[in-house]
């Protein structure tokens, strides 16, 4: 019996584009992005939210530009942040022109809403003049009327045809610095559409299950939908759409990539679900640990296991490990038994070990 490869994911080789100072596609890391939910005209609130997303690890941030006042504010906001900004454009193509002039690194346009081909051509011209990328953002909820009449309902073929129609417009105007998304709130519809557009072209894909829901339900839907696509090697940048603090979208995004061994950021905590064998309150301690370790961005693994059944085995595979014991908790470093923790605070001790590990790993990089 032969066993199929089970660990390494072979990503589809797509074209590489540039969004500000971030590469998307090709051999570039899969980028994680979110979107602000403040009024763009509230420049202080929007700037602060972007800075918070940067701190959480966001590679790209999308900002809504529904009116001229917002695009005027966008120019000031961009000057005060470091991450490349994507201007979100719906209905009013002139907002795209203004956003490109304001310094946006990318323009997200919705084919179903942007209007006539002539308007798209003007957007392309502005993108070229300002060294801007474009995202063709197809959404099942806002497909072109003629496609809905042709297919009768939103479906993968309609979404793919919408994307291909706009790809042709960009290509006919000698513009290739773009990526594509085919989002839907229905997991099956979104996944099928992404497979279809991936088969039809080699442009980088922005993955997302749109309007996924609240923190828990949205995380589950996004993990199933995007996880299956990423496991198949598709996807160059992702956004987890949650009815929650945008920072949570970044956290979930990195955790999805981390679980598939596609990208690592911060401490990967491996912990047991707890049971009657636990020698300490696993749930409470892990919850506190994850909060206390959020400031660490260097990739590392930490196992926190409540008893000796699986603890030693898990600890051998992690940078730092703790296995619960009756007379003391065994600490492992780099897979080897190192010392027993008896009197000190477990959380303080593990945080201290992780911070020391981060310094050690950063020193090695230098």
Kindly state the tokens that stand for 152.
């009768």
Inter-residue contact 352 to 360 (CB < 8 Å): no
Inter-residue contact 88 to 35 (CB < 8 Å): yes
pLDDT of residue 163: 96
Average pLDDT over residues 311-324: 93
Inter-residue contact 20 to 84 (CB < 8 Å): yes
Cα of first residue to Cα of last residue in the chain, in angstroms, is: 46
- The rounded distance, in Å, linking the Cα atoms of 301 and 321 is 8
Inter-residue contact 160 to 200 (CB < 8 Å): yes
Query: Where does residue 363 rank: exposed (0-12), middle (13-18), buried (19+ CB within 10 A)?
Result: exposed
123 pLDDT band, cuts 50/70/90, is very high
Average pLDDT over residues 188-199: 98
pLDDT at 7 over 80: no
What are the tens digits of pLDDT across the range 30-54? 999 999 999 999 999 999 999 999 9
- Cα torsion 335, 339, 341, 344: sign: negative
pLDDT of residue 1: 57
Kindly state the tokens that stand for 24.
């998307």
Name which of 233, 162, 152 is nearest 193 in CA terms.
162
- The rounded distance, in Å, linking the Cα atoms of 229 and 180 is 14
- φ, ψ at 242 (rounded to 5°): -125, 145
- φ, ψ at 151 (rounded to 5°): -100, -15
What are the tens digits of pLDDT across the range 136-181? 999 999 899 999 999 999 999 999 999 999 999 999 999 999 999 9
DSSP conformation letters of 261-303: TS---SEEEEE----TT-SS-HHHHHHHHHHHTTT--S-EEEE
The domains of the chain, with CATH numbers, are 17-259 (3.20.20.20), 267-365 (3.30.413.10)
pLDDT at 85 over 80: yes
pLDDT at 4 over 70: no
Q: Is the pTM of this model over 0.85?
A: yes
pLDDT of residue 113: 72
pLDDT of residue 3: 60
274 pLDDT band, cuts 50/70/90, is confident
- The rounded distance, in Å, linking the Cα atoms of 268 and 345 is 21
């Amino acid at each position: 019996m032969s066993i199929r490869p089970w660990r390494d994911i072979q990503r589809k080789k797509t074209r590489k584009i540039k969004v500000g100072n971030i590469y998307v596609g090709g051999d570039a890391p899969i980028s994680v992005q979110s979107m602000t939910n403040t009024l763009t005209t509230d420049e202080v609130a929007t700037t602060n939210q972007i800075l918070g997303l940067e701190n959480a690890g966001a590679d790209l941030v999308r900002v809504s530009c529904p009116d001229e006042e917002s695009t005027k504010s966008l120019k000031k906001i961009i000057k005060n942040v470091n991450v490349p900004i994507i201007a979100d454009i719906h209905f009013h193509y002139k907002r795209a022109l203004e956003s490109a002039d304001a310094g946006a690194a990318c323009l997200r346009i919705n084919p179903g809403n942007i209007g006539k081909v002539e308007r798209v051509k003007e957007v392309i011209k502005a993108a070229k003049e300002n060294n801007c990328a474009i995202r063709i953002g197809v959404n099942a909820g806002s497909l072109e009327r003629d496609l809905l009449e042709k297919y009768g309902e939103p479906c993968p073929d309609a979404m793919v045809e919408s994307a291909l129609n706009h790809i042709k417009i960009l290509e006919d105007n000698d513009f290739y610095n773009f990526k594509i998304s085919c989002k839907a709130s229905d997991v099956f519809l979104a996944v099928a559409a992404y497979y279809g557009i991936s088969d039809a072209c080699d442009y980088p894909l922005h993955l997302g299950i749109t309007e996924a829901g609240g923190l828990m339900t949205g995380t589950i839907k996004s993990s199933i939908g995007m996880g299956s696509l990423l496991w198949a090697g598709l996807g160059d940048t992702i956004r987890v759409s949650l009815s929650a603090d945008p920072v949570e979208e970044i956290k979930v995004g990195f955790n999805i990539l981390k679980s598939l061994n596609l990208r690592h950021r911060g401490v990967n905590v491996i912990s047991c679900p707890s049971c009657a064998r636990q020698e300490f309150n696993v749930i409470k301690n892990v919850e506190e640990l994850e909060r206390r370790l959020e400031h660490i961005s260097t990739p590392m693994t930490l196992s926190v296991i409540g008893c000796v059944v699986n603890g030693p085995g898990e600890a051998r595979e992690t940078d730092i490990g703790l296995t619960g014991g009756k007379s003391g908790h065994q600490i492992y470093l780099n897979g080897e038994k190192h010392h027993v923790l008896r009197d000190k605070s477990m959380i303080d001790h593990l945080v201290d070990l992780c911070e020391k590990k981060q310094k050690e790993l950063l020193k090695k990089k230098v």
